[in-house]
């Protein structure tokens, strides 16, 4: 599975688990409000700095966003 | 520890373990020959696509490049 798809899947799961809308998470991670939707559709290519901000906003380590199989 | 520093540390260790020079790895990962040095000095902000290419070149999963404490 490609990293962008793994990130998309983990993001959707963690965001829902935190009870956050895409807009809530975008605000917390200081990214554009449509950016999270783009990541969840695997159509964005985020930098490490953005991945880190999103991870911090979700309370996880950045590498956990890229780890496959986080059921 | 910031993700860029974790990446730098893991990259140096894995690259040395694979017996690759920075230029060798840059060629394998199809990035500029000075880019790997920049990552290892934490002065570059790579995209997920670049992180994935470097991980594949080193034979590891992308999330492993960002995992702390890979002694």
- Model confidence over A12-69: pLDDT tens digits? 999 999 999 999 999 999 999 999 999 999 999 999 999 999 999 999 999 999 999 8
Q: Among B4, B63, B60, B57, which residue's Cα sits nearest to residue B27?
A: B57
A46/A30 Cα distance (integer angstroms): 13
Strand partners for A47: B47
Residues of chain A in contact with residue B64, where contact means CB-CB under 8 angstroms, are 63
- Model confidence over B2-20: pLDDT tens digits? 999 999 999 999 999 999 9
B11/B37 Cα distance (integer angstroms): 10
Q: What is the pLDDT of residue B1?
A: 78
Q: With the C-alpha atoms ordered A70, B8, B69, A55, is the resulting torsion angle positive or negative?
A: negative
In residues, how long is chain B? 71
* Interface touch A47/B47, C-beta < 8 Å: yes
Q: What is the pLDDT of residue B70?
A: 58
* Interface touch B62/A62, C-beta < 8 Å: no
Angle between helices B48-58 and A48-58 (to 10 degrees): 100
Q: How confident is the model at residue B69 (pLDDT cuts 50, 70, 90)?
A: confident
B-chain residue closest to A67, CA distance: B63
Q: What is the pLDDT of residue A70?
A: 58
Residue B71 scores a pLDDT above 80: no
Q: What is the pLDDT of residue A71?
A: 53
Q: Which of B35, B42, B48, B54 to mutate to test the interface with A (most CBs of A within 10 A)?
A: B48
Q: Domain B3-65 belongs to what topology?
A: 434 Repressor (Amino-terminal Domain) (1.10.260)
Residues of chain A in contact with residue B47, where contact means CB-CB under 8 angstroms, are 45-48
């Amino acid at each position: 599975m490609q990293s962008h798809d793994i990130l998309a899947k983990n993001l959707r799961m963690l965001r829902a688990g935190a009870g956050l809308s895409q807009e809530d998470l975008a605000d917390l991670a200081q990214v554009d409000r449509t950016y999270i939707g783009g990541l969840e559709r695997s159509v964005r290519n985020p930098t490490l700095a953005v991945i880190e901000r999103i991870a911090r906003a979700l309370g996880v380590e950045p590498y956990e966003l890229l780890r496959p199989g986080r059921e």
